Amino acid sequence: MSKSAEAALQELFAAAKAAQANAYAPYSRFKVGAALRSESGAVHSGCNVENAAYPQGACAETGAISAMALAGDRRIAEILVIGDGEALCTPCGGCRQRIREFAAPTTPIHIAGPEGVRSTFTLAELLPESFGPEHLSV
Ligand code: THU
């Protein structure tokens, strides 16, 4: 990886980690942070926000995508998700589809733990043969 790509990834990691610290997860006690770089170069982040009515909770990726849309950006260049524990904190099925709306099959999805990035997948690896906006152009 080039030095500038490495620095860009570190910036995403720091933003996601800061977001994770603000997660509201009193029910699962599993705090998640997400940060994405849009094609404009801006970084947008989000954290999970749970609710006493459990299904109303929102994932960290959802928050980051909302922040991106609010800022007027529409394309995800790369996204990083951070969670604690041993297992890879990969996006849930719903969030894979939410990312899909604004990303390309080759868009990198980095999965991190507290110590740093653990694995990187493409969107197509996590959501193969996906349905997207272009399918509606019939
Ligand atoms: N969660 C996320 O925010 N993103 C993920 O990628 C996986 C799961 C949240 C949802 C819920 O608040 C908590 O983690 C436990 O599932």
Q: Which SS3 state, helix, strand or coil, does residue 65 take? A: helix
**Domain 3-126 in CATH: superfamily?**
Cytidine Deaminase, domain 2 (3.40.140.10)
Query: What pLDDT digit, counting tens, does each position of 43-100 carry?
Result: 999 999 999 999 999 999 999 999 999 999 999 999 999 999 999 999 999 999 999 9
Looking from the CA of residue 32, the nearest atom of ligand 1 is 3
Q: What angle do CA 136, 129, 138 make, to 5 degrees?
A: 15
How distant, in Å, are the alpha carbons of 54, 82, 129, 134 from that of 48?
12, 11, 27, 29
The residue ranges of every structural domain in the chain are 3-126
pLDDT of residue 3: 80
Q: Is the CB of 109 under 6 A from ligand 1?
A: no
pLDDT of residue 125: 98
Number of H helices, E strands in the chain: 4, 5
Instruction: Count Cβ atoms within 10 A of the Cβ of residue 120 and give its class: 0-12 exposed, 13-18 middle, 19 or more buried.
Output: middle
Which residue, 43, 44, 46, is CA-closest to 32?
A: 46
Q: Which SS3 state, helix, strand or coil, does residue 42 take? A: coil
Looking from the CA of residue 81, the nearest atom of ligand 1 is 6
Band of residue 1 on the pLDDT scale cut at 50, 70, 90: confident
Strand order in the sheet with 76-83: 43-47, 32-38, 76-83, 108-113, 116-122
Residue 59 CA to ligand 1 centre (angstroms): 5
Instruction: For residue 6, indicate whether it is catalytic.
Output: no
Query: What pLDDT digit, counting tens, does each position of 112-135 carry?
Result: 999 999 999 999 999 999 999 999
Band of residue 20 on the pLDDT scale cut at 50, 70, 90: very high
Residue owning the nearest CA to atom 6 of ligand 1? 91
Q: Is the CB of 60 under 6 A from ligand 1?
A: yes
Q: Are 34 and 15 in contact (CB under 8 A)?
A: no
Examine the pLDDT at 24 and tell me if it is beyond 90.
yes
